[in-house]
Amino acid sequence: MRLCSAEGFADRTVMEGIVILGSTGSIGVNTLAVIRQNPGRFSVEGLSGHDNVALLAQQIREFRPKQVAIGEGRGAHLQALIAELRPQPEILEGIAGQCRIAEAPSATRVVAAVVGAAGIKPVMAAIRAGKTIALANKECLVMAGALLMEEARRRAVRILPIDSEHNAIFQALQGAADNSIDHLTLTASGGPFRRKPSAEFGSISLQEALRHPNWQMGQKITIDSATMMNKCLEIIEARWLFDLPAAKIKVLVHPQSVIHSLVTFRDGSTLCQLGLADMRIPIAYCLGFPERIPSGAGWLDLAALGSLTFEEPDPVKFPALRIAYEVLALGGGAPAALNGANETLVGLFLQERIRFTQISDILQALVARLRVIGETGAPDEWQCLQEVRQWEDAIQADAWGRAFALRQATEAVTGTSTRQRSSDGSAETRVPT
Ligand SMILES: NC(=O)c1ccc[n+]([C@@H]2O[C@H](COP(=O)([O-])OP(=O)(O)OC[C@H]3O[C@@H](n4cnc5c(N)ncnc54)[C@H](OP(=O)(O)O)[C@@H]3O)[C@@H](O)[C@H]2O)c1
């Protein structure tokens, strides 16, 4: 099947096959909304969800994929909900099921919209199968960015960033020579607590942290935005996506979320991308690339906005902004360990088992511990810092980070017990108190 002409534009006589991993989440639902805006252009070949069987069933009825994947043990329930459909999609379960649909021969693009480390194996399977990746799942780049980008390069696979900041940079870089970049600036809304004095952070409730001023997103990334860990993960993501040293990646607080990021070139020019805070815009760019296709989002009205404002970030109030550079300097599995710890702590905060401030306190303790391990080569723990040469190294470092975070959190969570899912989503660990 020929999809791209010599000029790189799609042959419109063929619908392009798309797989969406994480179709039941915020990015997944927005991706399907963009596909709805472009009838006759895409065929949905595979969809996946984890818990949300009812929504996945609804999506199957509308988009009629050939294959679907759902969390372990939920296939029969899904089957029952779509029993009368003909033809029936193949129903798969768990990470192995997601890897199978990521390799679907009839698809050329895979949208990676699973949240967290659970997305890493299916993304890798899609790269190995030569699919173009529309990547929302930043955690897999944080865990194993060098490895993932190297694998993509070797297989001439294109990674198109959905994350709005990286998508903006990717857009601004079109036509630019690699050696023309001076630095990148990731914009940050500052989250719901930009103006809150840090002395009041101790009393932040889950509901307050889930109220992002500009973006409607899944729970994990919304909490990451409140702690500014999202920006930390994005600095690491940008380091690998654009192959630039961390020192060339800066952060600028821009509360209106209209400018989605900027590239400054060595001649002094700065290019940026503007748009409403609507993820359908970067998703449409990744689905249509190199063409631009309708997204269903509205237009910016700059006159109505009147002004755009900018502030320096505050790394004292939000230590996550420092942590990104520290773990990149430590190298090896340090970012994966950080990611695993952060996922664990966000999970605990969402269950209201720990306080908001404990997320960044424990992450800072983790970085301090990693520094000691780096200096002393602590015999039982040095593996978490070794170079990530294969996926298993990243998963081992991620597991170390989860265990560290759980230990620290358990000390604070007295009189209760906590359940945590492992990085591949397959097992649970019970933490006694
Ligand atoms: N939302 C945004 O605006 C936004 C913007 C930029 C980047 N991103 C990134 O995009 C990714 C997705 O974010 P989101 O906001 O769409 O998250 P979300 O709404 O929480 O959706 C997550 C998706 O992953 C699935 N999932 C969760 N745990 C899983 C597991 N263990 N195994 C397989 N699938 C699993 C969920 O399935 P069920 O719902 O069926 O359980 C759902 O389909 C994240 O990495 C995030 O950082 C999101």
**Beta-carbon count within 10 A of 56 CB:** 28
Ligand 1 pocket list (CB less than 6 A): 22, 24-28, 49-52, 113-115, 118, 136-139, 163, 215, 217-221, 279, 425
Give the type of residue at 255: P
Q: Which atom of ligand 1 is nearest to the CA of 137?
A: 45
DSSP string spanning 319-385?
THHHHHHHHHHH-TTHHHHHHHHHHHHHHHHHTTSS-HHHHHHHHHHHHHHHHHHHHH--TTTGGGG
Q: Whose CA is nearest to atom 42 of ligand 1?
A: 25
323 and 369 Cβ atoms separated by less than 8 Å: no
Q: 371: buried, middle or exposed (CB in 10 Å: 19+, 13-18, 0-12)?
A: middle
What pLDDT was estimated at residue 415? 46
307 Cβ neighbours under 8 A, 6+ residues apart: none
CA–centroid distance, residue 29 to ligand 1 (Å): 10
What per-residue confidence (pLDDT) applies to 291? 97
Alpha helix (H) ranges present in 181-228? 206-209, 219-227
- Give bridge partners of residue 274 from the DSSP assignment: 259
- Which atom, in ligand 1's list, is nearest to the CA of 425? 31
Q: What is the distance in A from the centroid of ligand 1 to the CA of 305?
A: 31
Rounded distance from Cα 258 to ligand 1 centre (Å)? 23
Atom nearest to 230 CA in ligand 1: 47
d(C-alpha 37, C-alpha 278), whole Å: 15
- Atom nearest to 163 CA in ligand 1: 6
Mean pLDDT over 209-216 rounds to: 92
Tens of pLDDT along 184-211? Answer: 999 999 999 999 999 999 999 999 999 9
pLDDT band at 377 (very low <50, low <70, confident <90, very high): confident
Task: Report the distance separating Cα 168 and Cα 259, nearest Å.
Answer: 8
Report the chain's mean pLDDT, rounded to a whole number.
92
Q: What is the pLDDT of residues 61-113, one digit of tens each?
A: 999 999 999 999 999 999 999 999 999 999 999 999 999 999 999 999 999 99
pTM of the complete model: 0.93
| pLDDT digit string, tens, across residues 256-311 | 999 999 999 999 999 999 999 999 999 999 999 999 999 999 999 999 999 999 99
Look at residue 303 in the predicted model and tell me its pLDDT: 97
How deeply is 7 buried, as exposed, middle or buried, from its count of CB atoms within 10 A (0-12, 13-18, 19+)?
A: exposed
CA of 224 to the centre of ligand 1 (A): 13
Ligand 1 centroid vs 339 CA: distance in angstroms? 15
**pLDDT recorded at residue 424:** 44
Question: Which atom of ligand 1 has the smallest separation from the CA of 216?
Answer: 3
**Residues 275, 278, 279: CA angle, nearest 5 degrees:** 110
